[in-house]
Chain A
Amino acid sequence: MKKLARRIADSSPEVRRRAVRELGAIPMKDSIDLILVALADDDWRVRKETVSVLSDVPCDSDVVGRLVEALVQNDNVGLRNASAEALATMGGDAVTILSDRMGSLGAQDRKVALEVIGRSGDPRSGDMLISHLKDPDANVRVCTAELLGEQGGGEALDALMECVDKSDYLLTLAALQSLNKLGARIPWRKLEDLSDDPILGSEILFAMGRSAQPEAASIIVKNIPEEPAAVRSLELLHGDSNRTAKAVELALKNADEIVHETLAAIVSQEETIDQRAAVRCLMWSRRIESLPLLVSLVSDETMHRVIVEGLSDWGEPAFAALEEMLPTLDGRPLASVVGLLARILDEEQGRSKAALFIAYLHSSNIAVATAAAGAVARFGNEGVIPRLIEMSAFEDKRVRRAAGHALVQVGCRVPGAVRDRLLQMEITGLGGIEICRVFEVVGRPEDTSALAGALSSPIPELRRASLSSLAAIAGSAAVDTISLAMTDEDMGVRMAAAFALARIGPAAAETIVSAIHTTQGPLKAALVRALGRVGHIEAPAILKGLCRESSEVAMAALEAMRNLELAPGELQYEILNHDDSEVVKKALLFLGSAVSGQRIVALLKHPAWDVRLAAVDRLSFGEYRDPEISVELEARLRDEKDDLVRAAIEHALEERKGVK
């Protein structure tokens, strides 16, 4: 003990910390003096260690009493905080002693004591806190309201609700804060009473946002210039019901200019949490004057949807205003408006403006032409095909993609016209990639020769795209050609060939099976998945052989088994013996109840804890009723060292009892 005392006073914090650890082994009544010294240590690591020792060993009421003394002294803040922390981990005992002493404590000490009680998790703590909402000291009351906001629960809510009135502003503010934090809905008459109180500011506005009361709308709107954060409460209110939504929209429409200016200012500040809410407010206020600001935000991904959806609701006035803006714009802003129109117009409106979009399709500005491609994807017909084909070969990848996408869409509407055009051209270069995709939609089996050039292109990406296209249009007739592509020197092309074979279906099964035997790594895995899609009479034997291969191949084999609904015993045995625990876990998941209880029991001794855990989890399912399994689980529980697995076994045993 003396030695320990000397070490607790050592100059090295690490020596002191270790000494504290050893104190844990001594009965608390003997060590408490030293413990208190350590709790007051200058070094936080020593204090932390002491708290941890205290929470590990049983403490009698003497010890708790000493800690409470330490809590209510005022000389050493470190000691005070450390004892608060230690007491909070002790729960019941600490709460009892603290409540006994509460009457004799000063206001400051009562606050500290209530914090400990609040964090103790003791069932009595709620009631005790609630009683201090009426504490004679204002600080204690406010602190109690905050603590109740952290704790929550029905009674806390009711008690906090009681505090919301005009008599005690500080307490009301704290109670509002807590209630907002808990997402509570406060009765409207209470809020109404308080609504002209400036101190309560944003908290009252937030509470109003949750009130579901249409009357709240105009009050919140009026306050936006003072409390810009109130835009978020408008969002809440709008989302509550049709009635509140209407009220919010009306209040915004009738709002003073200054409100709109504030909204515009919030929107222009980038990346605040209020920005999105303010954008929505502008959408709801439906003022044409806001359009330019809104349009300038369209390219922002987080705003895009809000604006597109909002403007579609505006209908005709927005379309007309946007169209009017067009001649005044160029470059990116013009592209934004064209893109916006492409999204918000319905089919009929869009088709009536087709000429406009076609004109922009020919713009020399790439962004504008790309946006117009998006529009003609929805509204264009034959007329746009030549220009789209031209654009599909542009240098800029985004333009190519947009043109390709548009051609696919137009191809869905007028397949014949698109196909005729494609058959007249050579499919080469990077543009060919897009054309191949279009071919997938409009091509016919007899068109394969048009793809031949792409198949032997020097550009691997084009060879890849042509394979997928070929499989789509020619089906089984393409097997031989795709098979040749399995010898391609580019790995990506070989992968594409594997996918293409999968796409063709049973006619490609033989080729897939032979290819599996000649490949390795990711390509082999892709082929095995392909086998899982097309099936083959020898699939079980082939898959069995793959179960012990590399993880990626075994995983693919497993997926194939699942797709083909194949899980004979010997296959299971192989895959559940894989070296990679990820494979074994996935097998348990995929094969589901096809795996017998006995087989899963065998995994209870698996070297990897995560596999044991997965096995235990499966055994807690109702399907495995054999009482022998419970015996095995109990046996495992005796040997199991891993806490998580132990807990899972205990849980499984409980579940199994329930089932019986």
Chain B
Amino acid sequence: MRLGDPVIPLSLERFRLLRDLINRRFGIFFSDDDRYLVESRLSERLIHLDLLSFDDYYHYLQYHQDGEHELERGAEILTTNETYFFREEYQLKAFSQEILPELHERLINKRRMMIWSAGCSSGEEAYTIAMLVRDSGLFHGWDVRIFGSDISARMLAKARRGIFGTSAFRATSEDLQRRHFNPAQGSLQVNEDIRVLCHFGRLNLLDEEKIIFVGRADVVLCRNVLIYFDKRSKSRALSIIYDRLNDDGYLLLGHTESLLNLSTAFELVHLRNDLVYRRPKAGSDGF
């Protein structure tokens, strides 16, 4: 939406209907205060679809054959995709110095490791993890798969291209930049040896059916995603993630997030560098 584009008025009542639609499907929740944000961002979609009012838009979402896809596009515009390389240093330190060595030991027989970045946005998180895996020097010749998923096709396309501008590097040392990136089109592109570890896919965290394609993960990063969800959706998402984790598999949340009052299924693990969650071995109580 550009400055000066018209804004189509969204009544509180309609706002709540739309909000609930998005919430049921994707978990993201908007409070009444967000109404004007939703109004101004979604106006672009209405104009694009030649719709005159939010009544029409709601109707479109519900009954048009393309309604499902449109809801995805709407949600895509409304979500925050903010992300950057090497975000949350302490946690990453715990990951590379404590979790990776432990996984190396645990999985040495299978030589397979799967890490899932759920809500990966434009891919910086997944690539960061791939760099840490490579730099650990522990997994040479292993079948390592890092899977980034998001609902935004636009973000996934960016992730696949692997070319990033300066704001993505606000927490990346020059040394890391030099080692893992190459100049491309005036920006920096992630090196091939890192890209080959990463796979991307479009997946709604609440889509219990499609989520099975993820298989089983040894670590799930779901950072700064659930903070936009309401409590019920958070619980649902956590239960889904729980099912996707191997026994003793780790769950890493954003540093402002915790499972307090949400889930008792995970155990809290005190690492030297950070606190993280873990799926207990089978036999312990789950959901």
Q: Which A residues contact B (CB, under 8 angstroms)?
A: 426, 428, 448-449, 452-453, 455-458, 477, 480-481, 483-489, 511, 514-515, 517-518
Contacts and interface: CB of A to CB of B under 8 A. Distances in A.
Chain B contact surface mostly? mixed
A452 B114 CA distance: 14
B198 A456 contact: yes
Contacts of A452: 196-197
B214 interface: yes
Contact of B215 (A426, A456, A484, A517): A484
A452 B143 CA distance: 10
A480 B157 contact: no
A428 B149 CA distance: 22
B160 A487 contact: no
A236 B102 CA distance: 82
Given A485-B199, A488-B202, A489-B201, A518 B212 contact: yes
Nearest to A454: B196
Contacts of B157: 458, 489
Contacts of B215: 480, 483-484
B155 to A, nearest CB: 10
Given A480-B215, A486-B213, A487-B210, A456 B196 contact: yes
B147 to A, nearest CB: 6
Nearest to A426: B192
B195 A456 contact: yes
Interface in B176-227: 192, 195-203, 207, 209-210, 212-215
Nearest to A453: B196
Interface in B135-155: 143, 145, 147, 149, 153
23 contacts: A452-B197, A453-B195, A456-B160, A456-B196, A456-B200, A458-B160, A458-B161, A458-B162, A484-B145, A484-B199, A484-B201, A485-B201, A486-B210, A487-B149, A487-B201, A487-B203, A488-B200, A488-B201, A489-B157, A515-B213, A518-B209, A518-B212, A518-B213
Contacts of A477: 143
B238 interface: no
A148 to B, nearest CB: 64
A518 B199 contact: no
Nearest to A488: B201
Contact of A456 (B149, B199, B212): B199
B160 A457 contact: yes
Nearest to B210: A518
Contacts of A449: 196
Nearest to A458: B160
A348 B209 CA distance: 58
A514 B192 CA distance: 32
B275 to A, nearest CB: 29
A455 B114 CA distance: 16
B156 interface: yes
Contacts of A488: 200-202
B199 A489 contact: no
Nearest to B147: A484
Chain A contact surface mostly? helix
Nearest to B214: A484
A409 B160 CA distance: 32
Contacts of B207: 518
Nearest to B162: A458
A477 B143 CA distance: 10
A453 B149 CA distance: 17
A484 B198 contact: no
Enumerate the 4 nearest inter-chain pairs by beta-carbon distance, A residue then B residue, closest first: A487-B201, A452-B196, A518-B209, A458-B160
Contacts of B200: 456, 488
Contacts of A489: 153, 156-157, 201-202
A505 B183 CA distance: 43
B243 to A, nearest CB: 13
Given A489-B201, A511-B213, 10 more contacts: A428-B192, A448-B143, A453-B195, A480-B114, A481-B199, A485-B201, A486-B213, A487-B203, A487-B214, A489-B157
A474 to B, nearest CB: 10
Given A480-B145, A484-B215, A455 B153 contact: no
Nearest to B146: A456
Contacts of A453: 192, 195-196
Contacts of B202: 487-489
Contacts of B203: 487
B190 to A, nearest CB: 10
B39 to A, nearest CB: 28
Contacts of A480: 114, 145, 215
B179 to A, nearest CB: 18
Interface string B152-172: 010011001110000000000
A517 B215 CA distance: 16
A332 to B, nearest CB: 37
A417 B197 CA distance: 26
Contact of B213 (A426, A456, A458, A484): A484
A491 to B, nearest CB: 11
A481 to B, nearest CB: 7
B192 A487 contact: no
A514 B210 CA distance: 9
A466 to B, nearest CB: 11
A594 to B, nearest CB: 33
A489 B198 CA distance: 15
A428 B162 CA distance: 13
Contacts of B162: 458
A456 B207 CA distance: 23
Contacts of B143: 448, 477
Contacts of B212: 514, 518
Contacts of A484: 145, 147, 199, 201, 213-215
Contacts of B196: 449, 452-453, 455-456
Interface in B234-286: none
Contacts of A518: 207, 209-210, 212-213
A21 B143 CA distance: 83
Contacts of B198: 456
Nearest to B203: A487
Nearest to A446: B141
A519 to B, nearest CB: 8
A458 B195 CA distance: 11
A139 to B, nearest CB: 70
Nearest to A428: B192
A84 B213 CA distance: 76
A399 to B, nearest CB: 25
A428 B202 CA distance: 22
A174 to B, nearest CB: 66
Interface string B90-131: 000000000000000000000000100000000000000000
